[in-house]
Amino acid sequence: MLNSTLHQSLQQWLGTAIGQYLLEQERAFYDSIVSDIFGYNAVQISFPEFDFLRSNRMPFRFVAGLEKGSSAYAHPHLLPIGSRSIDLVLLPHTLEFFPNPHQILREVHRILIPEGKIVISGFNPFSSWGLHQHITTSKNQFPWCGNFIALPRMKDWLELLGLETNTGKLGCYIPPCGSEKWISRLRFMEAAGDRWWPIGGGVYFLQAVKHERGMRILKPCWENPPKTRSAPATTQVDRQINSDAVGKGVGNNVKLK
């Protein structure tokens, strides 16, 4: 749970140039990926300040969390949501700022329908952002107080739960500098980093799909059933011939006189 001090730190950090830069990058990614995911129910867990489901077209979308502004007041460790009832779950940095991220992933796996999708964003510890976390003196401030999870470890956690990663991306290659002037000067690093240093992005994004063994989707058969060949019609003469042949103990090869 984000306590009041950390929540206030989050609001202050989002007012900075680097905070706005991060929010811009994350909104662009979420808008592009959730717009093509269809279903009926979608939930974002924690951080109700950010409406990352805004471009999704599912009829029922809500935010579950303990923060003020959440649609459903719920702890991410124990979600009051029915099993196999959600088509899409978003975890925007949720696993880094709540204890026991494994239990959160287990709850997400439980509420997802088969073939449901989960989208995760997290800070990359092997980047300039991860380096800044180690050298900064503001370790109690957002986001440096979070438990950054490495991308390979996150993929292992998903695989253990039967969640197959099918899409991934890194972004925020600009170092976490506090000046808008330097952020503008370093904008070229987004395109250059994505091409020349793809593992050095400050934030990673993952999309995974829940698979269950033994499932088979049955589709209706819209094709017309094959036509059966009807037996040839017999005439009165044919029936009389067959009857005479049977009476004489011969086969069907009978000649008319």
Quick: pLDDT tens for 158-196: 999 999 999 899 999 998 987 888 888 888 887 777 777
DSSP state of 198: G
Residue in the block written with tokens 């819209």: 222
pLDDT of 150 > 60? The answer is yes
- Residue 183 region, left (φ>0) first, then alpha (ψ -120 to 50), else beta? alpha
pTM, 2 dp: 0.79
Residue 178 CA from chain centroid, whole number: 32
Dist CA 204 CA 129 (whole Å): 12
Q: What proportion of the chain, given as a percentage, has pLDDT over 70?
A: 82
pLDDT of residue 129: 93
Confidence class for position 257, pLDDT limits 50, 70, 90: very low
Dist CA 84 CA 105 (whole Å): 14
Confidence class for position 124, pLDDT limits 50, 70, 90: very high
Dist CA 111 CA 80 (whole Å): 9
Please give the CATH number for the structural domain made up of 4-16+39-210.
3.40.50.150
Confidence class for position 254, pLDDT limits 50, 70, 90: very low
pLDDT of 75 > 80? The answer is yes
Q: Let me know: does 200 contact 193? Beta carbons within 8 Å.
A: yes
pLDDT of residue 184: 84
Average of per-residue pLDDT across 67-95: 94
If you average pLDDT over every residue of the chain, what do you get? 85
pLDDT of residue 198: 77
Confidence class for position 240, pLDDT limits 50, 70, 90: low
Confidence class for position 234, pLDDT limits 50, 70, 90: low
Average of per-residue pLDDT across 32-43: 96
